[in-house]
Structure formats: structure tokens, C-alpha cells
Structure 1
Amino acid sequence: MKVVHPYLRVLWLVKFGYNLLKLIAVTMHSLLLYSILKNSIFCFQGVLGVGAAMDAGRLEHQVASVERGIAFLKQEHLAMLTELQLEITHLKRRCQELSCELDSRFPDRNTAEEEAELAVRCTVAERLLEDQHCVMVTAQKELRAGRARASALVGSIVEDEHRFLDELKHRSHKITLLSRELQRQNITTTTLCHELHAARFKLSQQRHRTEPGAEGQQEAENTQGGDDGESSDWFLSPPTPPSAPEARQRRRLSLREERVRACVPQERVTSPQSPLPMPDPALFLVPLRYRLLRLNQPIRTQDDDGLEDEWEDIEDCMVHRRVDMGAGEGETAL
């Protein structure tokens, strides 16, 4: 059932009320104008009483013009009232026609039921608006909480970033210091290897020089013993070959010299300039654990058959793969 038609009556009633108010306003305006004219006439009559010397004909002419104006205003007022009455009558007739039309179209229409239905719809709409308002308030609270969590998360991320940057700077500084220390150790190792090579070269030259003198001295002693007629198995026996530990030690020393010569460039050995860091310092660095292990081990003599080469120990410890500089937490291990 449509609920649009009852509003037509309300619309016509509103229009009727508006026209009625307009009529009242015009009436009040006419009355106000009439009172103003009347007051002006009274004032004019007072002026006439005061100025008795003025021309009587002129005053009569002015009075006649004022009376004609009042009569004209009365006629206009009566015409406007007549039009308003006709308009009111027309509106009433139109309202009656609309009411009859509505009654004829909707004979079973009940205004109370329509009003009740409209009231129910209004109530439902109000409840829906209240629910939407509650949902909006809840969403705003959740949005504020989410913004607070987001701001806290951003703050924590910024703090973590600053802490990470500080730690990165600290570690970079420590890596730089360790790199410098490693470079100094490489330089020291290269210098020591060069000195060791030079010392062993000098020692080998001294040995080559002293061996011919020892052989000549031994021949002189053998000759002197033959002249004197002294015979001894020790003098007549050939020189004893070097013992097995000494031969093994010499082989190890020669092998070590070859390794040192292979690792150290020739220009670093022969050049008088300051040596540069080696490309692969892992062959010359001993890990901290290996150094501590060697300090804890008992000292061995060169005559011990179980003596092992340091380079072989370093290779067994896989030093060429990873060198532990004793780096703790936050340090870099090469």
C-alpha cells in the first residue's frame, strides 16, 4: 500500500497556511499604512492650526489628495481580501476533492494503521542508526588501538635499526682492527720467514765450509797415526753414516725450506724493500686452539722418533680452510 497520497493533503494545507499568512501580512501592512496616513493627517491638521496664515485653498487641495489616497488604499485592501477569500475557498474545495479521491481509491485505508506502520519503520530506522553508530564507535576505537600499535612497532623498529647500526659500526671497527693486526702479523711472519731463510742459508754455507776442513784434519790424523805405527779400528774404519733421526730431521728441514720458498715470493726474499702482506696468510698462522694445545703438550727433543712437522700439524688442523683468531662473540673469524 502506497503512503504517498496523504502527503498531498499536507502539502495543500501548508500552501493554504502560507497564503493565509501572506493575507495577514498584507492586512497588517495596509493597517499600518492607514495608521501612518491618519497620523500624517492629524499632524497636517496640527500644522494647519499652527500656521493659520497659509493659503486655505492649498490646504484643502492637500486634504483632498490625502483622502483620495486613503480611498484608493481601502479599495486595494478590499480587492486583496476578496482574492484571498477566493483562494481560500479554492484550496478548501481542492482539499475536499483530494480527500474524496483518496477515499474512493483506497476505501479500506486506515490512517492509524499507516501512522503505526510509519512509527514502526521510524523505530527500526532509529535502531539501525544506533547500531551503526555503535559499530562506528567500535571501529574508531580499534583504529586508534591499531594506530597506537603501529606507532609502537615503528618506534621499536627504529630502535632496533639504531642498535643494529651501532653494532654494525662496532663490528666494522673491530674488523678493521683485526685486519690491521692480521696485516701486521703477516708482515712479521714474512719478515721472520725471510730471516729464517737467510739464517739457514748462512748455516748451510758454514756447514759446507767446515766439512772440507774436518775431512782434511781427519786425513792428517790418519797419516800421523800410520807413520807412528798406531793402528786402530776406529781410525781405519770409514766415517759412520749419519744416524736415521738426523737424516729425517734434515729431510724435514729441506722440505720446510722448500715450502717456505714456495709460499714466499722471490721478490720478497731477495728485495731489500719492506715486505708486503702475503696473499694467503693461513699457511703461516697458527690457530689459538692449536697454540694452546702445543703449550699444554710436553717439550720433545729432536732425537725423538715421534717428532712431527709443524707444517703437517697445521695441515692436519685444516688451517688453510679456516683460521680461528680467537674471535669471541661480535668478532669476525677469517
Structure 2
Amino acid sequence: MMLCLFHGRGFIHMESANETRVSEFLLLGFSAKLEIQLILFGLFLSMYLVTFTGNLLIILAVSSDSHLHTPMYFFLSNLSFVDICFTSTTIPKMLVNIQMQSRSILYETCLTQIFFFIVFGCLDNLLLTVMAYDRFVAICHPLNYMVIMNTQLCGLLVLGSWCLSVMGSLIEFLPVLRLSFCKCIEIPHFFCDPPEVLKLACSDTLINNIVVYLVTGFLALIPFTGILFSYSQIAFSILKISSAGGKYKAFSTCGSHLSVVSLFYGTGFGVYLSSAATPSSRTNLMASVMYTVVTPMLNPFIYSLRNRDIKGALGRLLRRAAASH
């Protein structure tokens, strides 16, 4: 006989004493006060629109300008697309909940959010690693750059990043399906953050935690080590350049990417350090906002403000758009 417990606005269907199936979770978000929610709605809607528009302009500028049809900008346009997808995984649902004065998220929607959150998070990480390799080849092997970074290799690097991200997400996501959840179905977050969801499980999560550590080590720490190695080689190559102008020119080609890498990993490590120090705290929530919302929003500004080619392409794109009207 199936029983149904009502908890807040979420339901828990119980087929037996030892087996539960949650139909909804509750996303607690930032505050229950209506006036604060309205402020947050305006703030996050503005940030989402800026993120979407800025990254879309980068994609259009790169695709429409033949001068930017190079490996570096090919990877940049892919990163911009992934950033749009990354923010679209979490922010729209939060905005809908605020608008509807609801905190609920369906079990299936929550799992879907977890899957794509991991996919696009891993993709961000791997594409930044690929871009670091591109800068390494450009500065350390400039004469062979176009031979090494040919169209086929660039396509394979992006395709490989997608495949690894999807496989890594599946490996981390599938063990979640076997979990049963207790009466407490409140997630102290504005989206279904995988670690927070695991905390709600009343079944054993040992396998899930092992899988998380393995996937994180393979798709986060190893690429990060690759980025550090690439930049150590870049630094040695720049130091060998005799003229100050040559050093500045070499460094300026990777300055934007280095800024984005610092922002991405700085906020990412900040989340895990803050969660380790003060679990489920407001600090953890704000740190999550930094890498899920603020970092994708700032990436287009970093690349456009520090890159003359991008600024020129954006100017030509906007002039063509204005002339067409």
C-alpha cells in the first residue's frame, strides 16, 4: 500500500518503510521575504541578460569576422556558448520560482539540472585547458603554430571536451538515481547543487562520494595541472625574450585567458573551501553565485576589454546591425 506524506510543498511517496521516492524538492534560495525576492529577481534577471547578450555578441563577432577565424577565437566562441548554457541551467528556474512565489522543483527537473550543471561545468574547465594549450603552442612554438593547431585538431579538442564532459556527468549522475531521500527535502540553495542533494539522501552515499572524487580528480584537477604546466612553460619562454616590448606582446596574448582562469578557479575553490569551513552557510551560497553567475557574466567583458581584435569585430558587427535597420 502506498502512503503519501506532505512536507511543506513537497510530496514524498512511500512504498515501504525502507523505500522512498521524492516527487519534489524545495529550493530555499536566499530569503523568504517578498521585498528581498523582488530585488533578487531584478538583480539576477539583469545579470542573466548581460551574460546571455555578452556571450552571444562574442559568438556573433567571431563567426562573422574572417580575421577571427583562428584557433584561439574558435575556442573562445565555444567557451561563450558553454557559459550561456551553464547559466541557463540554473538561473531561469530560480527566476520562475520567484515570479510564481514558489520554492518547489520537481524531482525529474532537479536531476536534469544536476546532469547539465555537471556537463557545462566540466566543459568550462576543459575548454579553459584547451585554450591554455593553444597559448602554450602560440608562444613556445610560434613557427609551427598553424601546423600544430590545425582545423582538424581544434575540432577534435572541442569534440573530446564534449564527450568527456557528458561521460563524466553520466558517471556522476547515474548513481544518484539509486538514492532514496528522507523527509527533509529542503535544499539550502537556489539550484540543485549536487553536494547539497547528496546530503538529503537517507541511503548510503559512499559510492556517490567516491565517484564524485574520481570525476573531480579526472576532469578538474588534471586539467588544472595541465593549465599550470602550460603557463609555467609560457613564463619560461617569455623570460627568454630580450626586449621589454616583446615580453609585453607575448604576455598580452594570454592575459585575458589567464584572467578568466584565475576568476574561474578562484571562485570554484572558494566554494569548496567555504563549504568545508562552514557547511550550508550563506558564504557557500554567495561563493556559488560567483562561479555560476558572475564568472560567465564577466568573461565577455574580460576578453573584449583586453583584446583589440574582439573590440574591433564587435564594433563592425554593431555598425552592420545599425546600418541594416
> Which TM class, normalised by the smaller chain length?
under 0.3
The structure whose RCO (Cα within 8 Å, separation 6+) is larger is 2
The normalised TM-score by structure 1 is 0.19
Higher percent of residues as strand: 2
Please report the TM-score for the alignment, with normalisation by the length of structure 2.
0.20
**Rg (Cα) greater in structure:** 1
